[in-house]
Structure 1
Amino acid sequence: MGSHPHTPSLPTPTTPAGQEGLAALLARPDRAVIALDFDGTLADIVPDPEQARAHPGTVEALAALAPRVASIAVITGRPAGVAVRYGGFAGVAGLDHLVVLGHYGAERWEAVSGTVRAPAPHPGVAAVRAELPGMLDRFDSWRGTWIEEKGQALAVHTRRAENPQAAFEALRGPLGELAARHGLIVEPGRLVLELRPSGMDKGVALTEYVRETGAGSVLYAGDDLGDLAAYAAVEKLRTEGPHGTPGLLICSGEAEVPELAARADLLLPGPEAVVGFLSALAQRL
């Protein structure tokens, strides 16, 4: 594809595997799956997650890119419907190839139908919902923490506590015990502890989706510990079969989660840069 004078240049991945992933995507975009986390990747992290919205330009970039690739999948721990609403993804021309895999893939919204498919909630979530407020009251560090209702899961945020990191550390063990008692697990993130059923994670969701679409390459962008499972899935896909599935791993936010940054092929400073990359990619294609 010849360079166009107005085509913005794409940053070069720093690893051979990432360079191979990008080259495969550019060579056969019609077989590429672009998979993206939502919070911290397409939306800036904000003190109140209910105020999170897709970064300006996100929908335009995705609508420009979607017709040129096999599929765009937003993979998030949020309920699918919430991510669709906060992302502004519904009813957008050009976004027919978009799916939102919510609750780590347990829920699915497809732009082409505009509907969400979701399983019945795990009974442990209701039990934890009833016990959680009383449990938080017994801790000095609960002030400023708050519970986010996610339907299939619950999340305890410590971002607004007097000492957010201390509150996070103090609650991690007790919340782990509470979750285990009701058959749930705790997923730690950036000053958030999520109590949810095990068995679904972003890696499982991504692997199943790549297989379902028969993708020839995959790009994944994320920013937090919950994205490590998706990173591992891409690393595994690269090695499977006679030739593997080339993949490109992007880390949004260079210093926030060192474990993620260390495994990324390309570091971008945050959602604005991720959206800029997706726009540049759409123009290249």
Structure 2
Amino acid sequence: MYKEPPLATPENLAAWMAAASRLLLMLDYDGTLVPIAPTPDLARPDPELLAILQKLSLSPGRVVAVISGRKLAELQKLLPLTGLHLAGSHGAEIQETGGKTYRLFENRKLEENISSLERVARECVANSRGFLVENKGISLALHYRQADPELARQVLDSFIKRAAPIMGKNRLELLPGKKVLEIRPRGVSKGKAVQYLCRKYAGALPVYIGDDRTDEDAFMALREGCGILVSSQPRPSAATARLPSPREVYKMLLLLAL
């Protein structure tokens, strides 16, 4: 059931997590670990954040995972840390702490369908400014953060209409986000990655922190522990607590690493 989660403080959350004998800390990337940027390539972690994540991921009794809509290969470059779990493409691709990687979802025809949708998206965008089309292999993202709002509405309407037949035949779904429209396979979600990690680390206190629509799947997958929404404004969510911004997330992680 969705309701507005109460505002929490980094101090209280860090103290609560520090008291757990075993902690499974799962975090979204964009809008959670780092602020949303005009384009995805500009959203990069600073050295201080990397140092904190490294310390936490190597701390006894703590497991740290980053679960993102970004491709796994991209996360590996952004977060080249030892002992960190990475889950890319909304949890479809996973890297274990030892470096072993595998997919929770396989569909040989999927990449062909995503490529077809990429062509449709690029035709709809044409030469319009402010759009970015991202082919992630098993999903597609159409970013419009820098586009004129009225033009963005027209482009999105055209794309959704043209994409519908491909999606309907291939069990794909639309997922609106923060100035981005994504298409992914049905059955793939961050919630699946959360369930996998909770099974793998049964007995640890599970905490998931995220900011966007895709993170609601992760919040709902938690049967215990805590989901923390990152949002400057109150809004209905399956999370149980709220932090205002990535800055407060950083402060919480810093306190937890002390």
Aligning the two structures, in what range does the TM-score lie when normalised by the shorter sequence? 0.7 to 0.9
**Structure 2 SS opposite 1:159:** coil
**What's 2:5 paired with?**
none
In the superposition, the TM-score normalised over structure 1's length comes to 0.75
**Structure 1 SS opposite 2:236:** helix
| Residue 179 (structure 1) shift | 2.2
Q: 1:55 to 1:122 in 2, by over 3 A?
A: farther
The reply to whether residue 254 of structure 1 matches residue 239 of structure 2 is no
CA distance in 2, matches of 1:167, 1:45: 24
Give the partner amino acid of 1:82.
Answer: E
CA distance in 1, matches of 2:101, 2:33: 20
**What's 1:38 paired with?**
29
CA distance in 2, matches of 1:276, 1:12: 11
In the superposition, the TM-score normalised over structure 2's length comes to 0.82
CA distance in 1, matches of 2:158, 2:255: 42
| Residue 137 (structure 1) shift | 3.0
**What's 2:256 paired with?**
281
Q: Structure 2 residue aligned with 1:117, among 83, 102, 106? A: 102
* More off after superposition, 180-189 vs 190-199: 180-189
The reply to whether residue 229 of structure 1 matches residue 217 of structure 2 is yes
Q: 1:199 to 1:54 in 2, by over 3 A?
A: same
**What's 2:206 paired with?**
218
| CA RMSD in angstroms, aligned pairs only | 2.9
CA distance in 1, matches of 2:154, 2:11: 38
CA distance in 2, matches of 1:161, 1:137: 16
Q: 1:149 to 1:28 in 2, by over 3 A?
A: same
| Residue 122 (structure 1) shift | 4.4
**Structure 2 SS opposite 1:267:** strand
CA distance in 2, matches of 1:51, 1:232: 30
CA distance in 2, matches of 1:228, 1:254: 16
> After superposition, where does 1:17-166 map in structure 2 within 5 Å?
23=16, 25-29=17-21, 31-66=22-57, 67-87=59-79, 89-90=80-81, 95-96=82-83, 98-112=84-98, 114-118=99-103, 122-134=108-120, 137-138=123-124, 143-163=129-149, 166=153
Q: Structure 1 residue aligned with 2:246, among 271, 280, 284? A: 271
Q: Deviations over 1:215-274 (max 9, x none)?
A: 33111100100000111112xx12xxxxxxxx122222322x8233xx433322322221
* More off after superposition, 136-145 vs 172-181: 136-145
CA distance in 2, matches of 1:281, 1:28: 11
Q: 1:180 to 1:141 in 2, by over 3 A?
A: farther
**What's 2:196 paired with?**
208
Q: 1:198 to 1:160 in 2, by over 3 A?
A: same
Structure 1: stretches of 5+ with no match in the other structure: 1-8, 14-18, 239-246
Q: Deviations over 1:77-129 (max 9, x none)?
A: 11112112123x23xxxx42x100112222111342x3432465541332342
Asked if the contact 1:204/1:230 (under 8 Å) is kept, the reply is yes
The number of equivalent residue pairs is: 246
Structure 2: stretches of 5+ with no match in the other structure: 1-8
CA distance in 1, matches of 2:159, 2:241: 31
Q: 1:152 to 1:61 in 2, by over 3 A?
A: same
Identity in percent: 28
Asked if the contact 2:110/2:138 (under 8 Å) is kept, the reply is no
| Residue 169 (structure 1) shift | 5.6
Q: 1:10 to 1:139 in 2, by over 3 A?
A: closer
* More off after superposition, 119-128 vs 206-215: 119-128
| Residue 200 (structure 1) shift | 1.7
Q: 1:117 to 1:124 in 2, by over 3 A?
A: closer
When Rg is computed on C-alpha atoms for both structures, the one with the higher figure is 1
